[in-house]
A and B are shown apart, each in its own frame.
Chain A
C-alpha cells in the first residue's frame, strides 16, 4: 500500500509561518489532502490539491506539490494560537485514503 510520511512535531512562534512537509510513495495518487485535528475532535478537511497542480492557495494556506519528488507541503502564514493542532497529510489510491502519522503543531507566544 501507499506510505505517507511526515515529521511528528513542529513548534512555531505566533505570527511566523509554519511549514509542514509530507512525502508519499504512490505516484498514481490523484489528489493529496491536508486535514486538521483539534484536541478531542475528528479530522476536518483543510484543503486538497489535484496532482497536476503544483500550487494552491487558500487565504493563509498554501499547498505546494512536487510530483516528481512526491513531496507535499502546507504553509500556514501568520500562525495563530488557534492553529495549534495535529495536521495530517493524505494521499488517495483508487478509493482508499492513506494518512501520514500526523504533525503536532504547537504555537508559542
Chain B
C-alpha cells in the first residue's frame, strides 16, 4: 500500500530534550515536506526537499532541522524543543512529474513540549 509513515504518532517531552520524528514513504517520490498544523493557522511549511541531499526552508524553519540522506526518509529534528513547538506535525511526499504537486500525507504526529 502506498503510504507515508510517521513515528511517533504521539509524544510528550520536556523543554530542551532533543527529539526526532521519522518520516518514510514507499512511493519513490522525489519531493518530501514537513508541515505543522495549529488551530486557526492551517498548515505551515517547515522544510521541504526536492531530492536526496537537497533541502530548503519553508515558512517556519526556526528551531527545526531536517536531512535527506535517502530518497524514502525525511526525518524532522528538534534539537532543543520549546513549548511553542507543541503542535501537530505532518510529513508529506509527492512527485512533480505531472506538473501538479500532488501530496500524500502521513497520519500526523502530535507533539507536546512541557
User: B101 is contacted by which of A50, A92, A100 (Cβ under 8 Å)?
Assistant: A92
**Chain A residues with a Cβ closer than 8 Å to the other chain, count:** 24
User: For the complex, is B103 an interface residue (Cβ under 8 Å from A)?
Assistant: yes
Contact B40 A42 (CB under 8 A): no
**Cα A101 to Cα B92 with chains together (Å):** 17
Contact B99 A31 (CB under 8 A): yes
CB distance from B114 to the nearest CB of A (A): 23
User: For the complex, is A41 an interface residue (Cβ under 8 Å from B)?
Assistant: yes
Contact A95 B96 (CB under 8 A): yes
- Give 1 or 0 for each of B78-114: 1 = CB within 8 Å of chain A CB: 0000000000001010001001111111111000000
CB distance from A57 to the nearest CB of B (A): 17
Contact A8 B40 (CB under 8 A): yes
CB distance from A104 to the nearest CB of B (A): 10
Contact A42 B59 (CB under 8 A): no
**Cα A43 to Cα B42 with chains together (Å):** 11
**Cα A20 to Cα B32 with chains together (Å):** 28
Contact B106 A95 (CB under 8 A): no
CB distance from A60 to the nearest CB of B (A): 20
User: A100 is contacted by which of B33, B42, B56 (Cβ under 8 Å)?
Assistant: B42
Contact B101 A31 (CB under 8 A): yes
